[in-house]
Structure 1
Amino acid sequence: MDSAERIQAAAKFLLQSPPGEINDVLNDVRNIISDDDSLQEGVLPALQEYNLAQFIIADVPGSEHQSIISEAAKVDGEEDRFLDPRSKTSFRFDHLSLEASDPQPMEPDTEPEPFRAALESSTLTYLNSHFHEGVASVFATPGSPSKFTVQIVANKYNPTNFWAGRWRSAYTIDLEQEVVSGKILVNVHYYEQGNVQLETTHNLTIPLPPAITPSSPSTSAPKLVALIEDEEGKYQTSLNDAYTEMSEKTFKALRRALPLTRSKIDWDRVMGYKLGAELSASKGVFGESQ
């Protein structure tokens, strides 16, 4: 395999990296490529694709909050420049170092901004109530006063205990068509003495009631987020039910049940078990008087 083929293989590995482990994967493939300059140049498109798809978060320069790096956040006509609507700032993002720089003010479109801001406020309230460490971004669709995008990501990394997880959800809101279409993506990796991953995607469509309109952002936005909250709550419950079912039935069917003693056999003492059985048999035949 030549150098180009090895770099292409490395890029595929990066795209499959579990949450929070892409640097570990990158360091591993560095030992295979042994050429940092070629590696960085060759895998940069894969890193860009990964960061956008995984909703990597960035510290917004000059602000105390974080913003999501995604396709919806990209500034038209600008290479690697992204928008944080909350601070009305655009910034350049380095996909290798994951650092944001060169902040520039960016005024939003005036017509959709009231509803977008109300939707952002309601989304952040929901985020703070239900996610331990979450980040949300709300975008107005350029050129449309009635289309918006809500994105949520929550990461939990615990390398000490060999697990990591990421929740992503994204919703496209069309007030004119009175519908919300979205998806929820969950990825969990557990790797203590093994390698087990959960990767699941849930697509959904929510019809909007007539009461939700662009002309009433202060009352419509909370109702809209409440619909999203209800759908995400039901999906989390379904995941919990599925794992309970697997634990109580599926996993038990895959393994041999414990013996009647409800304890595992100590194979280092197996000869002792055999001798004890023979002595018990002797007592049963000859009686206690022997």
Structure 2
Amino acid sequence: MALISTEERIEAVSKFLLQSPPGEINDVLNDVRTLIGDDESLETGVIPALQKYNLEQFTVAEVPEAHHTSIVSSTAQILGEKDRFLDPRSKTSFLFDHLSLEASDPQIYEPDQASEPFRSALEASALKYLDSHFNDGTTSVFATPNSTGHFVIQIVANKYNPVNFWSGRWRSEYIVDLDARKITGQVLVNVHYYEQGNVQLETKHKASITLPASIVASSPSSSANKVLALIAGQESTYQESLGDVYHEMGEKTFKGLRRALPLTRQKLDWDKVLGYKLGAELSASKGVFGGSGAST
């Protein structure tokens, strides 16, 4: 049998990492170390997968010399610098280590003066929305380079509860196009429940919102508040629909897959299972020997 090369094993490990549930990528990485058997090769080989995972999952970084977190994503990536990311809130950029998840080397980043008033207004409104609707979340708001009417709002919220065997992540991204008077975006929800099993939920919801002309014509602060109000309505409706789906799954789908009770409509007393088995064996013995049940 041909031996599997280190490159093939690293490719397999990378696929495992990209499917890691929220907050569990370090656990997956530790579990697959034995497949490689060489930490140096493992670290070098999986960096591309870790980078892709961090960008797609909106990994959160502690911004150096600031008192807040920022989202690491492809939108935040500084053009031409693979591992340097922008934090518009502090007007700095930083290097990000995809293995240790640590940010370093902050540098001043000058924003576009024409788009900054509306971008900062969107950021202020997004922070208020975050504080009102998420227990533990991060938001970053970006202005598209060379455009005064194009902005990106990103939100991520994580909840890790290993004691109760579940974890979850909410990600949402919205592109605000003032010129086209439109908001397009998506919401992605990932939940992992793994007590005595392994169940994962992945959902994706696309959103499209038309902006009234009055919103675009308002002041940056007023417009930004109305934009976030529209986003809040969209996300609330989606969250309610998820609740309805869960309820229906519990009442219909799951019950259709498995009976809550056996055909007798009574729960099985597992303490008496051995007794049931012994009785069956005795009955079988009587049939074989033709016994009447009387003592010998």
Same fold (TM over 0.5): yes
Distance 1:8 1:257, change over 3 A: closer
For residue 257 of structure 1, report the CA deviation from its aligned partner.
3.9
Gaps of 5+ in 2: 280-296
- Mapped to 2, the partners of 1:214 and 1:102 lie a distance apart of 40
Q: Deviations over 1:68-124 (max 9, x none)?
A: 000110111223000100010111000010000000111100000000000000010
Gaps of 5+ in 1: 276-290
Q: Deviations over 1:151-183 (max 9, x none)?
A: 000000011111000000001110000111100
User: What residue is the counterpart of 2:249 in the other structure?
Assistant: 246
State whether structure 2 residue 9 is matched by structure 1 residue 23.
no
For residue 260 of structure 1, report the CA deviation from its aligned partner.
9.7
For residue 204 of structure 1, report the CA deviation from its aligned partner.
1.3
State whether structure 2 residue 210 is matched by structure 1 residue 207.
yes
**Aligned-residue CA RMSD in angstroms?**
1.8
Distance 1:260 1:46, change over 3 A: closer
Q: Which moved more, 1:166-175 or 1:214-223?
A: 214-223
- Mapped to 1, the partners of 2:39 and 2:269 lie a distance apart of 51
- Mapped to 1, the partners of 2:145 and 2:80 lie a distance apart of 13
For residue 64 of structure 1, report the CA deviation from its aligned partner.
0.8
User: What residue is the counterpart of 1:36 in the other structure?
Assistant: 39
For residue 29 of structure 1, report the CA deviation from its aligned partner.
1.1
- Mapped to 1, the partners of 2:88 and 2:98 lie a distance apart of 20
User: What residue is the counterpart of 1:287 in the other structure?
Assistant: none
Q: TM-score, normalised by structure 2?
A: 0.89
Question: Among residues 216, 225, 241, which one is paired with 2:228 in the alignment?
Answer: 225
User: What residue is the counterpart of 1:71 in the other structure?
Assistant: 74
- Alignment partner of 2:213: what SS? coil
State whether structure 2 residue 200 is matched by structure 1 residue 197.
yes
- Mapped to 1, the partners of 2:82 and 2:52 lie a distance apart of 14
User: What residue is the counterpart of 1:120 in the other structure?
Assistant: 123
State whether structure 2 residue 267 is matched by structure 1 residue 264.
yes
User: What residue is the counterpart of 2:54 in the other structure?
Assistant: 51
Kept in 2: contact 1:61–1:100 (CA 8 A): yes
User: What residue is the counterpart of 1:6 in the other structure?
Assistant: 9
- Alignment partner of 1:77: what SS? coil
For residue 269 of structure 1, report the CA deviation from its aligned partner.
2.2
State whether structure 2 residue 179 is matched by structure 1 residue 182.
no
User: What residue is the counterpart of 2:65 in the other structure?
Assistant: 62
Kept in 2: contact 1:146–1:214 (CA 8 A): no
Distance 1:105 1:215, change over 3 A: farther
Task: State the aligned residue count.
Answer: 275
